[in-house]
Structure 1
Amino acid sequence: MVTRSPVDDLDARLIALLADRPQIGVLGASRELGVARGTVQARLDRLVERGVISSLAPTIDPVAMGFTVTAFCTLAIQQHGGQQPVLDHLASIPQVIEVHTITGDGDLMVRIVARDNTDLQRVIDRVVSTGLVTRTSSVIALAELIGRRTLPLVQAAAEGG
């Protein structure tokens, strides 16, 4: 049985176009791609429905908003209450922009942004303030050399790779 890729060439071209020019709209995309407006709308609906794209919301750059420090914190958490209380606490902190469960020495990897190192200390203090976190280890990112990118992945999926 052959498994169909979640995207084909037209999907990949549409995603790349929207990433490059997010305000193009359905009609503009149909003109640019040389396909019917209904085709573009159907493709977008299908991509959203299948979770390939989550929304057509703007991408927000924390640095442009003054959050120039990025840190990655590994958290070891109390195991008796499960992860949900910790996740609820972390979700209440605006500077926590990602949380992942991980393997290795910790339980969670948390991406935090802050205005400066003093602000970072304040945020980390808030992260550990509940007593649900038993140990932390933090590293500060000095520079982003390759930002979050998914278009090469989209293209590879469209090509069957």
Structure 2
Amino acid sequence: MPFDALDARILRLLLDRPRTSVREYARILGVARGTLQARLERLERDGVIVMAGPRVSPAALGHPVLAFVRIEVARGHLDDVADALAGVPEIVEAFSITGSGGDLLTRVVARDNAHLEGVIQRLGRLPGVVRTRTEIALSERVPHRVLPLVESLTPDQGPEPDSAPEPDPDPPEGAQRDAR
């Protein structure tokens, strides 16, 4: 079944109200609980919903420093280095990349700059690593999000349930204002 307007409404609710029950989602959407459950299962099976659970803040766990470390890998060692990265707890994400900036891009968290330096030195000593390049994040400007993407995938379906449209304060020229 292709992604449709109901799927988009379900995802909006999951993203806006992640701690709401399935029963409440069904009530808000005006669909049967069974319908909603079937849609959720399909979205999970299709890989649209990839995980359920809390999003944990490394900063709140005492790791407020965030850096992006690009790693250049010797030819033929990409899988070995990637496997070794999985053993470094301060690496919270790692991606294979293209371009001249390296072969892997990692997101690294640390307690402070000295801790970050130790992690970077550890990465540089991994067999197959040619060099690393680090960029420290100063602040988060756009937090991780997917709701705008979800909303861009389906045409506007009107207001969400439990909300009313706001009146247009500046109607187009030539339009009549309601004088009631």
What TM-score, normalized by structure 1, do the two folds share?
A: 0.89
Which position in structure 1 is the counterpart of 2:18? 22
CA displacement at 1:76 relative to structure 2: 0.5
User: Could you tell me how far apart the structure 2 residues matched to 1:32 and 1:56 are?
Assistant: 20
> How does 1:16-95 map onto structure 2 within 5 Å?
16-80=12-76, 82-95=77-90
CA contact (8 A) 2:81 2:127 kept: no
Structure with larger RCO (C-alpha < 8 A, sep 6+) = 1
Amino acid in the other structure paired with 2:71: L
What is the RMSD of the two structures over their aligned residues, measured on CA atoms? 1.7
Deviations 1:73-106 (A, max 9, x none): 11101113x3111011101111111111112221
CA contact (8 A) 2:12 2:147 kept: yes
Deviations 1:7-35 (A, max 9, x none): 32211221121122222121111111111
**Structure label with greater radius of gyration:** 2
CA contact (8 A) 2:67 2:109 kept: yes
User: Could you tell me how far apart the structure 2 residues matched to 1:25 and 1:84 are?
Assistant: 40
User: Could you tell me how far apart the structure 2 residues matched to 1:137 and 1:149 are?
Assistant: 26
What TM-score, normalized by structure 2, do the two folds share?
A: 0.80
SS of residue in 1 equivalent to 2:93: strand
Unmatched tracts of structure 1, length 5 or more: none
Q: Which has the higher helix share?
A: 1
CA displacement at 1:121 relative to structure 2: 0.9
Unmatched tracts of structure 2, length 5 or more: 157-180
Task: Report the number of matched residues.
Answer: 155
User: Could you tell me how far apart the structure 1 residues matched to 2:35 and 2:55 are?
Assistant: 25
SS of residue in 2 equivalent to 1:138: strand
User: Could you tell me how far apart the structure 2 residues matched to 1:156 and 1:45 are?
Assistant: 22
